[in-house]
Structure formats: structure tokens, C-alpha cells
Structure 1
Amino acid sequence: MIKCGLCGYEFERGVKICRGCHGTVKYGAGGLKWLFGIIYGTVIFYALRYVNDHWLTIQDKIALPIILCAFVLGAIHAAYLFRNQVKTVKVVAK
């Protein structure tokens, strides 16, 4: 059972709307997976630049797919890390 962060109502995983406060229930990493992907891609980019400048030459057509794979790996890693995160959001009418 999961407790709503807004009203404390308990519900099972998979519910999309809280029965207590009628807030929208969101699961997972959300935007964090894109942030992790950007961080992973940036770290790999600078690591490849360092290797290219100091040890051996890496061709651009090899580096880009490696950076894209790192981005995807970061997004998957964040989705895995935050898979149990549950957030309830209530939209306020204007």
C-alpha cells in the first residue's frame, strides 16, 4: 500500500487518481531521467575528449554513438533508481 503525499489516503500501486483528494498520482523518475542522461553523456564526452587529447585519437563517428549510448544508459539508470518514487499532484483550478 502507498500513502498519498497530499491527504494520507492509502491506495495500491497502479492507481492514477487518489480517491481521497482526487490528485493525480505520478510514478517513476519523471524529468530526472533526462537529467541523468545529460550528466552521463557529458561525463563520457569529456572523458573521450581527454583520451583523444592525451593518449590516442578517437574518430568523431565513433565518439557520437558512444555519447548517445551513455545518454540512454543514464536515462535507464535513473528510471531504475526512481522506479518506486510516487508523487501526488493536485491541479488547482484558476
Structure 2
Amino acid sequence: MNIPLLGLILQAVFFLCITIFNFVRVNIMENFSVYPVAFFELLLGVISLICGIIGIVKKTNVGLSIIVMFIGIFICFYFVFIYLLGEAGSPPPIRWFYK
């Protein structure tokens, strides 16, 4: 299988999880914790970023590899902004720096 295409499929899974299947995310967060959802989304972002980098290094479909890499970076930024940073004085969902 083409590596950048695998990254694109993982990104499609991410976008489906935060749009159509959001009720599953919310259910997991309410019943268990925010950690499984957050780290699953981070895993999708990091793996798709790695797929983009591998595609650039191997020079297979460079244009798609660059797009996959940038979207992987945006997914990782999404993780940081949603789960690690607080908003308007409220604490972040994952407390990594606070006591």
C-alpha cells in the first residue's frame, strides 16, 4: 500500500471521529475518561505525520506526502489546543503542567 495514502486514510478516520461519530467520543469521555480519546487522536496525527515524512523521504507521490504531513501537523496542534491548553480561566482537560 502507498504510505501517503495510508496517512490520508488515517486522517479521514480522524475527521469522521470528530464530525459524524462525535457521539462515540462523547460517550467514551463521559463513561471512562478523556485520555483514551485524546491519545487516540494524537496517535492518528503522529502516524499520519510519519507517513507523510516517509513518503517525502522515499519520493513517492511527493505532493500528497506534503499535504498528509501538513494535515498531520495540524492534527497534533489540535491535540495541544483542545486537550492541553485551558480556556478563559478553566483548567485544561489533561493537566500536564499544573499541580
* Same fold at TM > 0.5: no
Bigger Rg over Cα? 1
Where relative contact order (Cα < 8 A, 6+ residues apart) is larger, the structure is 1
Question: Could you tell me the TM-score, scaled by structure 2's length?
Answer: 0.34
More strand by share: 1
TM-score, normalised to structure 1, is 0.36
Q: Would you tell me which structure has more helix in proportion to its own residues?
A: 2
